[in-house]
A and B are shown apart, each in its own frame.
Chain A
Amino acid sequence: VKDEPRDSIKAAFEAELAESPPPADLRRRVIDHPFEPGEPTMVPWKILAAVASVLLAAAISGTLLVWHLNAAPAGDRRQPPVATTPTATSTPSPSPSATPSPTPPASSPAPSPEPTAVPVQGSGMARCDVNDLRLSRGTVGAAAGNVAFDFIFTNVSGSTCYLYGFPGMQMMDSAGKPLLPTPSRNGGQVIADNVPHRVDLAPGATASFTVGSVDPGVVQGGCPVSASVVVTPPDSYNHFTIPASIADCANPYGPYISPVVAGSQGDHR
């Protein structure tokens, strides 16, 4: 392949990048994601795995003991069950835990000797998706022409899940057509903290985010105002639709969107 078009193609891609530069803290946002506080370490996981393996081995031994008791002739019921098997020792203990197993346990209680990274889902904690959540509107605050709209996620599932990062939002007009621009993640007068933090949501707990915009009356010529908004929880492809009247102006008027924060008070100043 000749390099002839390299410069012009590279320039075209670079121009796209110049229009959508990465956030200054992209590396931290991306790399910190898997290691947010609250992430279980590998030690409890290993302990749990070892305990589960031991319990499984004990259960298998107990099951086999009961099976031998039931299978033996009635007259032999008082005999130690191990005496009926060729591999049994002479230890006449009725306790399953003290009785040598006639067959090896199905699984070894020893976990992998290698250090193991514990993924989020491996820990049993899943991301909250729309099936786990209810979306509702929170307070609306206004000052000096700026308006803050809070939206609240409530965990309506029976188990703890987590949210991390920015929700997606698309504003729609009354005809159901999308409005532009979509909310920006960086800047604005309203958003307090643009840094994502992991939020663990116990059943019934809430998390929230804020959309910052302006009173459309302060913008010369006005701005389109949404009739509803489509909201995707962070890292999800599923969405909610909820009525909301938010001015959708161009920069610098917003709209801006915050990351999800704990509680129902949003992320506004």
Chain B
Amino acid sequence: MDMVPRMGVEGGMVVAAQPGDRIEAGSLAGAAGDPRAFDDLIGPLVETGYRLALAMLRDRDAAEDVLQEASLKAWRRLRQLRDGRSVRPWFLMIVSNECRRHRRARWARVIRLPQVPERACPEPAVDGLQLRQALAELPASDRMPLALFFYLDLPMEEVAQVLGVSPTAARARVYRAVRRLRLQVQEEDPA
């Protein structure tokens, strides 16, 4: 993890986020109100946030909108992030809440349609295609733990923080989602 030199002021240390790292926030007094420090703190998490939002919403534009809203809320709530708490699950929890809010919105329910792929992709193997279809048909409440644990590689403690549940409950939700995914695949391919 890289130190951010200008944040190394008295009592104010913020560790820059690196993909895959567990990010710790030192004293955040310097980051609140400082756009550059905010960029250092949240910027490296933007792509992870996009991956989560896309996994939840399956819509590129909606994922970007949600991420912008999450960034704005993170900026407003940065002071609520206490020292010693990890930044990544905190930010991803904001993203997941925004995804839920987006899905609840009437616009999303009535109008949103799956996007046509922008680029041609290699035809996936049959197994992969079935799995993708099964994954797409899972409810968002099951896609979320799968995305957090298997796709974003978050440790179970962070999955729990993002979901707002205990680690034991988070583990159970991942189990349950995997079981439903398997059932879904079997339904699509009884043979």
On A, residues with C-beta under 8 Å from B are 1, 5-6, 8-23, 26-27, 29-31, 33-35, 42, 114-120, 122, 165-166, 168, 170, 178, 180-182, 184-185, 230, 232, 234-235, 237-239, 250-251
Contacts and interface: CB of A to CB of B under 8 A. Distances in A.
A176 to B, nearest CB: 11
Interface string B69-81: 1011001101100
Contact of B113 (A10, A16, A180, A232): A180
Nearest to A179: B113
B111 A235 contact: no
Contacts of B50: 22, 26
Contacts of A1: 149, 156, 171, 174-175, 178
A263 to B, nearest CB: 23
A33 B51 CA distance: 19
Contacts of A13: 51, 55, 135, 147, 150-151
A34 B118 contact: no
Given A26-B64, A168-B61, A20 B131 contact: no
Contacts, number: 160
Contacts of A20: 54, 58-60, 63, 115, 117-118
Given A8-B128, A116-B32, A165-B68, A180 B116 contact: yes
B13 interface: no
A119 B32 CA distance: 11
Listed from nearest, the 6 A-B pairs whose CB atoms lie closest are A20-B60, A237-B105, A117-B33, A19-B117, A34-B75, A119-B76
Contacts of B47: 22, 26-27
Given A31-B71, A117-B33, 11 more contacts: A1-B156, A1-B175, A20-B59, A20-B115, A21-B60, A26-B64, A29-B64, A30-B68, A33-B71, A116-B33, A117-B75
Nearest to B132: A12
Contact of B39 (A15, A31, A120): A31
Contacts of B181: 5, 9
Contact of A33 (B68, B116, B121, B175): B68
A5 B46 contact: no
Contacts of B135: 9, 12-13
9 contacts: A12-B131, A13-B51, A16-B54, A30-B49, A31-B42, A42-B33, A117-B75, A122-B76, A182-B113
A16 B64 contact: no
Interface string B156-191: 100000000000000100110010010000000000
Contacts of A33: 68, 71-72
Contacts of B65: 165, 168, 234-235
B64 A114 contact: no
Contacts of A182: 61, 113, 115
B109 to A, nearest CB: 10
B72 A34 contact: yes
B113 A178 contact: yes
A180 B171 CA distance: 39
A22 B67 CA distance: 11
Contacts of A117: 32-33, 75-76, 78-79
